[in-house]
Amino acid sequence: MSDETLSNLLREERRFPPPKELAGSANVTDATYEQAADDPDAFWAEQAKRLDWDTEPTETVDWSNPPFAKWFADGTLNAAYNCCDRHVEAGHGDRVAFYFEGEPGDTREITYAQLTAEVKQAANALTELGVTSGDRVAIYLPMIPEAVVAMLACARLGAPHTVVFGGFSSDALATRIADCGVEVVITADGGYRRGAPSDLKSAVDQALTKCEGVRSVLVVQRTGQDVEMTEGRDLWWHDFVGGQSDEHTPEAFPAEHPLYIMYTSGSTGTPKGILHTTGGYLVGTSYTHWAAFDLKPETDVFWTAADIGWVTGHSYLVYGPLVNGTTSVMYEGTPNTPHQGRWWEIIEKYRVSILYCAPTAIRTFMKWGPEFPEQFDLSSLRLLGSVGEPINPEAWVWYRHYIGGDRVPVVDTWWQTETGMIMVSPMPGVSEAKPGAAMTAVPGVSVDVVNDEAHSVPNGSGGYLVVTKPWPAMLRTLWGDDQRFIDTYWSRFEGLYFAGDGAKKDDDGDIWLLGRVDDVMNVSGHRMSTTEIESALVSHPKVAEAAVVGATDDTTGQAIVAFVILRTEAGDGGPDVVQELRTHVAAEIGAIAKPRQIMVVEELPKTRSGKIMRRLLRDIAENRELGDVTTLTDSSVMTLIKDNLAKPDSPQE
């Protein structure tokens, strides 16, 4: 982030104290911070009581072999039982777990009793398919209730799931299936995207031609489109799961039993399989869900507007809310289908009290204008959350004003796939929020901002965000690659978790997140790796070399801009080369990875040691004056690129 952007960020000086009525009844108070600081172990042991354990843990954290943590290690429990059955046993079977709103306008209301019954049926179905504890199951579904049922059925059997976002391509799916040795895939015929059905099953079929080991595919009928079913491998969910008994006794697993693997982009090519385990993850997500959103499960209607294929969907649409017995909204569609007031219509319809979404959505709504939210009754809202990328103060203030009626707190929550749970956030009943600041670590969590030498920076200075103590929902390792886990997160600063984010402490010591410091981009709150997209580009026969950078974008935060050198034999690549390459990236990774802009260039700026100077490419992509070029092998390269791009016939979009 440039100094200018930073000073703009810090120019907004208003403070927003908690509303009086909220402060008076808030879940988290100053005392919570004090208890957590006085005795973190006792604090977390207390939080563990949110769960029903088969064997109560007597240990809290075991950090004897860092960076491999164990939490509540001698406890045993069943994750699905904690999300479903126990609420029914406590007399809340009739409480709605999900108000599902499908994109075509179809709806379903699913109570805790119904959810429990469906999870039991699905668990029986997976058992019949031979799934047992430890087996991996891939879930490649749209945002439909079966996605939650499938996740919980896996959890019930102790079979780690890996949910692959439905927007990823068959290649991306195949890589993930192969990396963690998936045996069963749960998918659908298709999903709805802006009013039209899109294929999922055919992508699974294609993926399975590229990897081995999958013996069964369960197919949910969502769109009713024609799909090919492979005899002996593919089964319809409604036949096979629907025909199962809804009796199933949950088995207790050790707290450190794997719960799921979620792939995410790192700064090198291949996606990383983040491993989360059971007890600590459920404690961390349920506690932070209760704390950051001041959750009152009897009365709140909570809506995480994120896809289940990302960690936000895992932690705050599924596990955290369900452990807490929350009523949630689950929405399949996009914000502008069939009209631009869709979200606000949903909030009015279900009387949503807490909304959790990404700044990119807020900025899009700002562009569309306040006339859309103004047509609906949003008075049920009492809290707003933001996640996924830095929120600019303008968006923060707009969100609070137009959506929150200038009365509700906004919590900007910083966390990652790796952290599993919210780590830095205002507490709605305590913090005097500052627009654009994630403020302070949640009670029980310890973070700092350090300089290159790992020293804590003074207030008013910037550096790298680190976590200084283990936390219950932390990733335990990268699937099958302990060394990469150590190298990526624990080697930059001795004994500290390196998050990969730049941050600043303001004069009060409050934390402002400033974006990634590595080659990871954040596009609409989705994490993308520059190298992953570069690899996709160079796998195209016409491309010799590629460099990808994230350029600042008003709506999506960052946008993908690629510079490619074509192979000599490809000539000028032909008139459609840019389109061809964009389509190729979509096929390799998914439509979300398509570069906004591809520039065909003759050379790339490199340092004397051969490293591509992305900083300079970013300057070009953002139309800035060129920065320092003295370390370039040949500084005329940049002039060449600029001149070439200025030509009217240069092939760019």
Which of 187, 278, 286, 416: binder of ligand PRX (CB under 6 A)?
416
488 binds ligand PRX, rule: CB under 6 A: no
| In the complex, minimum distance from the CB of residue 210 to ligand PRX, in angstroms, rounded to a whole number | 25
- Compute the Cα dihedral for 200, 206, 207, 212 and give only its sign: positive
Report which of 342, 305, 255 is spatially closest to residue 48, judged by C-alpha positions: 255
What's CA 577's distance to the chain center, in Å?
32
Q: Which stretch binds ligand PRX (CB under 6 A): 199-207, 482-490, 499-507, 605-613?
A: 499-507
Cis, bond preceding 67 (omega within 30 deg of 0)? yes
Q: What is the DSSP letter of 648?
A: T
- Distance CA(232)–CA(229), nearest Å, equals 9
Instruction: Name the one range near ligand PRX by CB under 6 A: 361-369, 427-435, 498-506, 583-591.
Output: 498-506
Q: Residue 523 CB, nearest distance to ligand PRX (Å)? A: 10
600 scored as a contact of ligand PRX (CB under 6 A): no
Shortest distance in whole angstroms from residue 515 CB to ligand PRX? 6
The end-to-end CA distance of the chain, in Å, is 25
Distance between CA atoms of residues 641 and 561, nearest Å: 14
Q: d(Cα 188, Cα 585) in Å, to the nearest integer?
A: 24
Residue whose CB is less far from ligand PRX, 205 or 412: 412
In this chain, which of 388, 404, 470, 573 binds ligand PRX, going by CB under 6 A?
388
Give residue for tokens 């469906």: 118
Is position 75 an interface residue for ligand PRX (rule: CB under 6 A)?
no
Q: Is the peptide bond before 338 cis (omega within 30 degrees of 0)?
A: yes
> 135, 234, 307, 501: which one contacts ligand PRX (CB under 6 A)?
501
Q: What number of residues does the chain have?
A: 653
* Closer of 185 and 387 to ligand PRX (Cβ): 387
The span of 90-98, 121-129, 151-159, 496-504 binding ligand PRX (CB under 6 A) equals 496-504
Shortest reach from residue 528's CB to ligand PRX, in Å: 9
Cβ closest to ligand PRX, residue 87 vs residue 527: 527
The structure tokens 């709150």 sit at 525
Min CB(527)–ligand PRX separation in Å: 4
Stretch that binds ligand PRX, among 12-20, 382-390, 478-486, 603-611 (CB under 6 A): 382-390
Q: What does each C-alpha distance from 111 to 417, 447, 570 come to in angstroms?
A: 28, 38, 59
Regarding 414 and contact with ligand PRX (CB under 6 A), the answer is: yes
Cβ burial 144-180 (10 Å sphere, 16+ → b, else e): bbbbbbbbbbbbbbbbbbbbbbbbbbbbbbbbbbebb
417 lies in the binding site for ligand PRX (CB under 6 A): yes
The minimum distance between CB 246 and ligand PRX, in angstroms, equals 34
Contact call for residue 36 and ligand PRX (CB under 6 A): no
Q: Are strands 462-467 and 477-478 parallel, antiparallel or unpaired?
A: unpaired
- Residue 117 binding ligand PRX, by CB under 6 A: no
**Torsion over CA: 46, 48, 50, 53 (sign):** negative
- Using CB under 6 A, which residues numbered 258 to 297 contact ligand PRX? 264
User: Does 390 interact with ligand PRX (rule: CB under 6 A)?
Assistant: yes
DSSP H or E stretch at residue 285: helix 278-292
Q: Is 412 in the site for ligand PRX (CB under 6 A)?
A: yes
**Does residue 149 bind ligand PRX (CB under 6 A)?**
no
Question: Shortest gap between Cβ of 273 and ligand PRX (angstroms)?
Answer: 13
Q: Which stretch binds ligand PRX (CB under 6 A): 143-151, 406-414, 567-575, 602-610?
A: 406-414
Per rule CB under 6 A, count of chain residues that contact ligand PRX: 21
Considering the complex, state which of residue 311 and residue 330 has its C-beta at the smaller distance from ligand PRX: 311
Does 312 sit near ligand PRX (CB under 6 A)? yes
Cβ 308 to ligand PRX, closest distance in Å?
A: 13
Q: What angle do CA 423, 426, 429 make, to 5 degrees?
A: 130
Which of 22-30, 317-325, 338-346, 410-418 is the region at the interface with ligand PRX (rule: CB under 6 A)? Answer: 410-418
Asked if residue 415 binds ligand PRX (CB under 6 A), the reply is: yes
| DSSP class per residue in 102-165 | -TTS-EEEEEHHHHHHHHHHHHHHHHHTT--TT-EEEEE--SSHHHHHHHHHHHHHT--EEE--
Shortest reach from residue 257's CB to ligand PRX, in Å: 23
Pick the piece of the chain touching ligand PRX (CB under 6 A) from 173-181, 363-371, 383-391, 622-630.
Answer: 383-391
Binding of ligand PRX by 254 (CB under 6 A)? no
Give me the least distance between CB of 522 and ligand PRX, in Å please: 5
Q: Is 547 in the site for ligand PRX (CB under 6 A)?
A: no
Residues 520-539 within binding reach of ligand PRX (CB under 6 A): 522, 527
Nearer residue to ligand PRX within complex by CB, 550 or 605: 550
DSSP string, 556-621: TEEEEEEEEEE-GGGTT--TTHHHHHHHHHHHHTBGGG--SEEEE-S---BBTTS-B-HHHHHHHH
| Residues β-bridged to residue 385 | 356, 411
The beta strands (E) that lie in 3-60 are given as none
Element (H, E) at 361: helix 359-368
In whole angstroms, how close is the CB of 33 to ligand PRX at the nearest point? 20
Do the bridges between strand 216-220 and strand 234-236 make them parallel or antiparallel, or are there none, so unpaired?
parallel
d(CA 372, CA 121): 42
Q: Judged by CB under 6 A, does residue 500 bind ligand PRX?
A: yes
Decide: is 438 part of the binding site for ligand PRX (CB under 6 A): yes
Can you read off the two tokens belonging to residue 436? Answer: 């654009």
Residue 472 interacts with ligand PRX (CB under 6 A)?
no
Question: Which residues lie near ligand PRX (CB under 6 A)?
Answer: 264, 311-312, 387-390, 412-417, 438, 499-501, 513, 516, 522, 527
